Structure 1
Amino acid sequence: MTWDETYPEEFFGPRSSTLLIKNLRGIVTGRLGEVVREVETVLIEGDRIVAIGGPADAEADVVIDAKGAVALPGLFDTHTHFSIGDFNPKQNTIGFIESYMHGGVTSMMSAGEVHFPGRPMDRFGVKAVAVAANRSFTNNRPGGVRIHGGSLMTGPYMEEEDYADLAKQGIWLMKVGFGGFNVPQDAVPHVRWAQAAGFVVMSHSGGASSVPGVAPITVDDLIAMRPDIAGHINGGTTSLPEADVERLVKESDAALQLVQAGNLSASLNIQRMAAEHGALDRVILGSDTPSGTGVMPLAIIKTIAELSSIGGVPATDVVAYATSNAARVLRREEGVLEEGRPADLVLVQQPVGGPADHPIKALNRGDITGIAGVIINGQIRALRSRNSPAPIREVEVQSHR
């Protein structure tokens, strides 16, 4: 549903309004190494956070009583397979983007429009798909989610000047691994050309995809290509061998992407290796959906719960994988709760019926939190999630001045 269908302006205030969130139990900043910060208020003006921990009676057009919720930065899904609009033909799915927003995801990155019906694999066709998808998601944001679409599916048919030309059209994402390179390392010059033009480059890695014609990409290929993101190294769906992952951690500086659609055992081993080598700041999360694995609106928050509870890493740090780590790799301002940053927040409570008395404790023991509110660009996009477990307390929109 659109903003107007879900929360009419006459009730929640104009889109440029001030929004005060009070009675918080604390915030998670999204940065590695930081614990829950015990503050009770966040004040938003327009689309920016302007004060954290200020007075609870500050003037605001809209006031949310958080009822003891904890505020997290909005979550990034860095591996999503869009086509055009809120539809994916792989699973014949309509409305999945808004549904992921109900899972706390406020930013989604294209891993290539590989399920585009009749996807072209020629120089002009792939450029046209990237530009069309980019323009589509610029003009249409289902659920208010920040959609980073139009990821160029590069191939041997591309020429050096194409990358600079596409950058002028606003294209800044590229995917290696679905464009027809019979020898993956033939993509090396294309990666260099794209990065020189300002692209963030992701490479497929591990075993072959369910998409026909996609070859495995080994650690030698990844080290030679030097992508910005080594995609789904825990498997999409088949993971890299453990020894190869260790080489990737030691011999590259690529972001280490873990996806819900991959191998959980591999994810835990990769997290352990990254911790041992001081590389947790390189770990980012994605869903790798919709795909053959299906549609998973709670993919990111579920991954956070798993990596924390089984992997023994504090949930506040695992949240950073899906917030500040991802934002840094994608060169975005979102992902950290601090003054001056974009106002993308998720309000979470411990779930009804669970033993934890705090939402972060719930994640630490492997329980998905109850999502009680999602705010994107300073606008309320959802209150109680239709997908998460029920929060122990629901937030209230208390006043509109």
Structure 2
Amino acid sequence: MRVAIVNLSRIVSGDLNAPFVAGSSILLEGGRIAAIGDLPPGSIADVDVTVDAAGTIAIPGLIDSHVHITFGDYTPRQRVVGYLESYLHGGTTTAITASEVHVPGRPKDPAGVKALALAAAACFRDYRPGGMRVHAGSVILEPGLTGADLRELREAGIWLAKAGFGAFATPYDYAPLMREARACGMVTTMHTGGSSIPGSSGIWAEHVLASDPTVSFHVNGGPVAMPEEGFARLVGESSVAMQICTAGNLRTALLTARLLEEAGQPERLLIATDTPTGSGIMPLGMFYTISHLASLGGMAPERAIAAATGNNARVYGLNAGILAEGRDADVVLIDACAGGSKDDALSAISNGDVPAVSAVFTAGVPRFVGRSRNTPAGMREVRVAGCRLPMDFSGSAH
């Protein structure tokens, strides 16, 4: 499928180093961005679908790097079906598992732990709820697992390992397995903050430093933040990516962003939601945290968007998250909400508003065009201006 998005007012790249792309059009083809910028009319004359962006703003699809996947589009924690598709209507086009810890009766023996990760990954290998790409299957580190087990899993396609819910005597005991996981090419993640479920323990900065994970999960608390002095230690004594989550402590989220900015290391800041959990379902959670950083933390909105897109993509090694030729064709059109005090999406975000999601494209396919079911309508009318396919991409069809 060839899809042209035209009449954009701005293109936010998701790249901290070059946050805007000049031009007003994006060409999607074969699941990738084929061209972006000021495109000559001849280059988009024979597309299958033309979407008139009507002066809205294009951003990369949001990457939620902390979603508690189970199996299918279902969460037993809140007994909700279809939540991932609903998140897509909040602009999230990629979800990364924070481990399948909420599976009822979760196994804790080595064989069961490995089976759970493999089954979860297989469940989403070809399943894209609402068009969302889901990276599932994170091995939960438990006593009894060995380096050989982790290498076996890596060879089978498991590339995520999680510390924080295992039955170790102290959080320091995760360190040997975390080093083994990193050595075999896994992205390692570690719960940070107070205990979030019965039977788990609080994990503070000294524990994170000992394990040296790729990502300090919900460093601002999931939902309870670690002691205050730990934030400066993680910034100054490590290169760990520091993930802030909507379902955590807002004050320490802003503190984390400020400390990383002052250290000249904003690329280490990641945005996620840490849902579904006891905090519930948050289809607009990513945009809430983006707006918090911009309106309360004084961050430029395009840089906050990068923390939710390109920064996550770099840390997790994904081809999504940045609008550039050859990247995954995951694009979201945003606008100021009708009736608000601002007239464009970036100004609205800086004002503390959640933007209207006016269209979402994943893998180069329009998933809906016109209006999200989870946001107010935008000020501008995004529409399908031309379509050669027997399909209806309008928001009303979803």
Structure 1 residue matching 2:193: 3-state secondary structure? coil
Cα deviations by residue, 1:225-255 (Å, 9 ceiling, x for unpaired): 0000001010101112221110000001111
Aligned to 2:15: 31
Aligned to 1:353: 339
Aligned to 2:393: none
Cα deviations by residue, 1:168-215 (Å, 9 ceiling, x for unpaired): 111001110112112111111100111111110100011111x21110
1:298 aligns with 2:262: no
Selected match of 2:252 from 263, 266, 269: 266
Contact persistence 1:82–1:88 (CA under 8 A) = yes
1:54 aligns with 2:39: yes
Selected match of 2:297 from 286, 308, 311: 311
Structure 1 residue matching 2:203: 3-state secondary structure? coil
Aligned-partner Cα distance in 2 for 1:312–1:172: 35
Structure 1 residue matching 2:3: 3-state secondary structure? strand
Ranges of 4+ aligned residues in structure 1 off by more than 6 Å: none
The two structures have a TM-score, normalised by structure 1, of: 0.94
Aligned-partner Cα distance in 2 for 1:299–1:166: 32
Contact persistence 1:202–1:231 (CA under 8 A) = yes
Amino acid at match of 2:361: I
Deviation at 1:35, TM superposition (A): 4.6
Moved more, 57-66 or 183-192: 57-66
Matches within 5 A, 1:164-179: 164-179=151-166
Aligned to 1:238: 224
Aligned-partner Cα distance in 2 for 1:282–1:94: 33
Aligned to 2:182: 195
Contact persistence 2:220–2:244 (CA under 8 A) = yes
Contact persistence 1:65–1:396 (CA under 8 A) = yes
Deviation at 1:56, TM superposition (A): 4.1
Contact persistence 1:41–1:55 (CA under 8 A) = no
Deviation at 1:31, TM superposition (A): 1.2
Deviation at 1:392, TM superposition (A): 1.1
Alignment RMSD (CA, Å): 1.0
Contact persistence 1:34–1:316 (CA under 8 A) = no
Amino acid at match of 1:297: P
1:149 aligns with 2:136: yes
Aligned to 2:270: 284
Structure 2 residue matching 1:274: 3-state secondary structure? helix
Amino acid at match of 2:82: G
1:219 aligns with 2:205: yes
Deviation at 1:43, TM superposition (A): 0.9
Deviation at 1:33, TM superposition (A): 4.7
Selected match of 1:336 from 322, 326, 335: 322
How many pairs are equivalent? 384
The two structures have a TM-score, normalised by structure 2, of: 0.95
Cα deviations by residue, 1:115-173 (Å, 9 ceiling, x for unpaired): 10110111000100100000001121111111010011111110110011001111001
Gaps (5+ residues) in structure 2? Answer: 389-398
1:20 aligns with 2:4: yes
Aligned to 2:113: 126
Aligned to 1:70: 57
Aligned to 1:184: 171
Aligned-partner Cα distance in 1 for 2:20–2:114: 44
Structure 2 residue matching 1:371: 3-state secondary structure? strand
Identity %: 43
Label 1:269 to 1:81 Cα distance change in 2 as closer, same or farther (>3 A). same
Deviation at 1:388, TM superposition (A): 1.5
Structure 1 residue matching 2:4: 3-state secondary structure? strand
1:374 aligns with 2:360: yes
Gaps (5+ residues) in structure 1? Answer: 1-16
Contact persistence 1:71–1:346 (CA under 8 A) = yes
Contact persistence 1:73–1:323 (CA under 8 A) = yes
Aligned to 2:147: 160
Contact persistence 2:66–2:95 (CA under 8 A) = yes
Contact persistence 2:204–2:227 (CA under 8 A) = no
Contact persistence 2:5–2:52 (CA under 8 A) = yes
Contact persistence 2:182–2:188 (CA under 8 A) = yes
Amino acid at match of 1:25: S
Deviation at 1:37, TM superposition (A): 3.7
Contact persistence 2:275–2:282 (CA under 8 A) = yes
Aligned-partner Cα distance in 2 for 1:84–1:68: 39
Contact persistence 1:202–1:230 (CA under 8 A) = yes
Aligned-partner Cα distance in 1 for 2:23–2:339: 26
Structure 2 residue matching 1:397: 3-state secondary structure? strand
Aligned-partner Cα distance in 2 for 1:85–1:272: 37
Structure 2 residue matching 1:139: 3-state secondary structure? coil
Amino acid at match of 2:60: P
Cα deviations by residue, 1:322-348 (Å, 9 ceiling, x for unpaired): 111000010011111011111100001
Matches within 5 A, 1:63-142: 63-142=50-129
Label 1:35 to 1:197 Cα distance change in 2 as closer, same or farther (>3 A). closer
Structure 1 residue matching 2:124: 3-state secondary structure? helix
Contact persistence 1:324–1:335 (CA under 8 A) = yes
